[in-house]
């Protein structure tokens, strides 16, 4: 995606926004939603598989609301950010759109998002997911679906290495990686992403688990002792030759795991199906992130936001409310495999009864997202670059954290 053009368009949107939150981040009051069934056309932008399947899925909503029509526009993920930013600048937004969790800060800052009305109860959702919707004390969206990260490991290699249970602490994770390499026969005990885009998603869980805060009192705090200690632990997997320090070619991670050369790795729920398809079914298990001070993981997914320029605001929020029903969340999971953001949906046997998904459901109870600030993607890129130096060039974690902090301080939170 062309980030330079996006930045220009988003800057224009910021200039045009006259009715959003003020720079101090004061809470913004939400307007009520009218009673009764939805009426009129409800325009929706959705990305990826969601954009392809939501239109047909929404026909059930139209049956319950016969005077309403949901029109879904499928938007490619690589064009979505710029398309939303351009629509905000031109005041030509749809009624409702998917918003990636890491985009919430910058789009809320434009003043274009409608505050979440009180008909939604944040207690219905995983707390980490709800937190992604909150910017400056105000919620501007509703979590639609979620994902988190856990540890995939080869049970046969663990058994061969004499391990009878998954790791529960940092020390046990390191010991498991060594044992599966030395006694289990794997070339690599634990595969970590050594920098490049998105490396922060597998590193920050260690920082959070060690008590690190990414933003405190409105400022980035990337060079704290807690974060440096976590980065030192993360680096040790590379220096001790437990993890390769190069990015695998497409498909190599899965092939290595199924073939037994890679004993374990961190990823999300989507990987279970991929591994099954490639011949690994029955050879692996999934464990929650290990504990240091906590056992916190990363939470991602997507939110649903309604725009202030929506032509059918009430209908849009009623559609979002319908998508948040526990039974509808389960039906959407069964159709698309998106994990429900509504906790009650996890009582369904299709989720709670699955040994792999059950682990991810448990992990979602202790999962965090990066701070919802407009500049997070820029700061994340700076952190990724430093992580790559730590993994590949042996840069000291203290120096890397200091460099990341200096860049983050220059960028600022954009608040």
Asked whether residue 242 falls in the same domain as residue 385, the answer is: yes
Same domain, 230 and 334: no
* Whether 286 and 385 share a structural domain: yes
Inform me whether the pLDDT recorded for 214 exceeds 50: yes
pLDDT at 8 over 60: no
pLDDT digits (tens, 9 = 90+) for 285-301: 999 999 999 999 999 99
pLDDT of residue 93: 98
Task: Provide the residue count of the chain.
Answer: 415
Domain holding 258, by residue range, is 150-298+372-411
Contact 75, 44 (CB under 8 A): no
Return the pLDDT at 387. 98
The domain that holds 273 is classified in CATH as 3.40.190.10
Judgement on whether residues 119 and 202 belong to the same structural domain of the protein = no
User: What band does 179 get if pLDDT is binned at 50, 70 and 90?
Assistant: very high
User: Average pLDDT in the 86-103 region?
Assistant: 96
Residue 22 falls inside a structural domain: no
Classify residue 9: in a domain, yes or no.
Answer: no
Domains held by the chain: number: 2
Domain boundary (351, 368, 385) is at 368
Q: Do 326 and 178 belong to one domain? A: no
pLDDT higher than threshold 80 for residue 10: no
What's the whole-number average pLDDT of the chain?
92
Same-domain status, 315 and 182: no
CA distance 227 to 204: 9
Distance CA 333, CA 318 (A): 20
Q: Is the domain of 291 the same as that of 162?
A: yes
Same domain, 225 and 155: yes
pLDDT at 23: 32
The per-residue pLDDT for 247 is 83
Least confident of 6-10, 26-30, 383-387: 6-10
Q: What pLDDT was estimated at residue 165?
A: 94
pLDDT tens for 360-373 read 999 999 999 999 99
Measured between alpha carbons, how far is residue 292 from residues 92, 175, 205, 297, 371 in Å? 48, 15, 10, 12, 21
Same domain? For 184 and 306 the reply is no
Q: What DSSP state is assigned to residue 249?
A: P
Q: So what's the pLDDT on residue 26?
A: 60
| Residue 384 located in a structural domain | yes
**Does residue 73 carry a pLDDT above 80?**
yes
**What percentage of the chain reaches a pLDDT higher than 70?**
94
Report whether 308 contacts 112 (CB < 8 A): yes
Residue 284 counted as domain residue = yes
For residue 3, give every residue at least 6 positions away whose Cβ sits within 8 Å of its Cβ, in sequence order, or none: none
| Residue 15 resides in a domain | no
- What pLDDT, in 10s, does the model give residues 21-42? 333 346 788 999 999 999 999 9
Residue 113 CA: distances (Å) to CA of 23, 89, 110, 257:
15, 12, 8, 43
**pLDDT per residue as tens digits for the range 389-401:** 999 999 999 999 9
Mean pLDDT, residues 376-405 taken together: 97
**What distance in Å separates the CA atoms of residue 168 and residue 51, rounded to the nearest whole number?**
38
Query: 109-140 in b/e burial notation, b at 16+ Cβ within 10 A?
Result: bbbbbbbbbeebebebbbebbbbbbbbbebbb
Rounded Cα–Cα distance for residues 241 and 188 (Å)? 7
Residue 18 lies in a domain: no
Is residue 16 over pLDDT 90? no
Torsion of CA 270, 276, 279, 280, to 10 degrees: 80
Q: What number is the average pLDDT over the span 72-85?
A: 96
Residue 9 has pLDDT above 70, yes or no: no
Average pLDDT (367-385) is: 95
Examine the domain organization and report whether 98 and 188 are in the same domain.
no
CA atoms of 142 and 144, how far apart (whole Å): 6
Q: Is the pLDDT of residue 267 over 70?
A: yes
Is residue 109 in a domain?
yes
User: Model confidence over 297-307: pLDDT tens digits?
Assistant: 999 999 999 99
CA distances from 187 to 247, 265, 281 (A): 15, 13, 21
Q: Which of 395, 365, 368, 367 is nearest to 383 (CA)?
A: 395
> Do 226 and 362 lie in a common domain?
no
- Both 229 and 292 in one domain: the answer is yes
pTM for the predicted model, two decimal places? 0.89
The pLDDT of 373-394, averaged and rounded, is 96
């Amino acid at each position: 995606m062309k980030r330079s053009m996006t930045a220009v368009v988003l800057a224009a949107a910021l200039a045009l926004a006259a009715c959003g939150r003020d720079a101090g981040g004061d809470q913004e009051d939400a307007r009520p939603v009218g009673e009764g069934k939805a009426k009129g056309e409800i325009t929706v932008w959705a990305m990826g598989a969601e954009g392809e399947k939501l239109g047909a899925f929404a026909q059930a909503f139209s049956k319950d609301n016969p005077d309403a029509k949901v029109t879904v526009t499928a938007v490619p993920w690589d064009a979505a950010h710029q398309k939303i930013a351009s629509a905000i600048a031109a005041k030509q937004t749809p009624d409702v759109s998917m918003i990636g969790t890491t985009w919430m800060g910058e789009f809320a800052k434009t003043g274009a998002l409608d505050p979440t009305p009180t008909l939604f109860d944040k207690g219905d959702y995983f707390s980490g997911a709800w937190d992604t919707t909150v910017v400056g004390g105000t919620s501007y969206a509703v979590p639609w679906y979620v994902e988190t990260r856990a540890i995939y490991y080869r049970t046969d290699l663990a058994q061969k290495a004499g391990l009878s249970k998954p790791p529960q602490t940092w020390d046990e994770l390191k010991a498991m990686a060594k044992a599966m390499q030395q006694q289990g026969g794997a070339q690599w005990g634990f595969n970590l992403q050594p920098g490049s885009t998105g490396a922060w998603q597998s590193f920050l869980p260690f920082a959070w688990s060690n008590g690190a805060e990414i933003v405190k009192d409105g400022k980035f705090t990337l060079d704290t002792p807690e974060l440096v200690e976590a980065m030192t632990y993360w680096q040790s997997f590379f220096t001790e030759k437990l993890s390769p320090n190069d990015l695998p070619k497409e498909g190599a991670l899965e092939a290595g795991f199924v073939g037994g050369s890679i004993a374990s790795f961190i990823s999300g729920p989507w990987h279970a199906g991929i591994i099954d398809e490639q011949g690994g079914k029955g050879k692996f298990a999934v464990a929650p992130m290990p504990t240091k001070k906590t056992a916190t993981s990363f939470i991602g997914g997507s939110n649903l936001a309604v725009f202030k320029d929506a032509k059918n605001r009430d209908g849009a929020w009623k559609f979002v409310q319908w998508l948040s029903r526990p039974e509808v969340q389960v039906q959407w999971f069964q159709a698309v495999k998106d994990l429900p953001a509504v906790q009650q949906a996890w009582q369904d046997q299709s989720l709670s009864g699955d040994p792999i998904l059950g682990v991810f459901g448990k992990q979602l109870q202790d999962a965090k997202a990066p701070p919802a600030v407009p500049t997070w993607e820029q700061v994340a890129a700076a952190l990724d670059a430093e992580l790559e130096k730590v993994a590949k060039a042996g840069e000291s974690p203290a120096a890397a954290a200091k460099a990341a902090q200096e860049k983050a301080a220059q960028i600022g939170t954009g608040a």
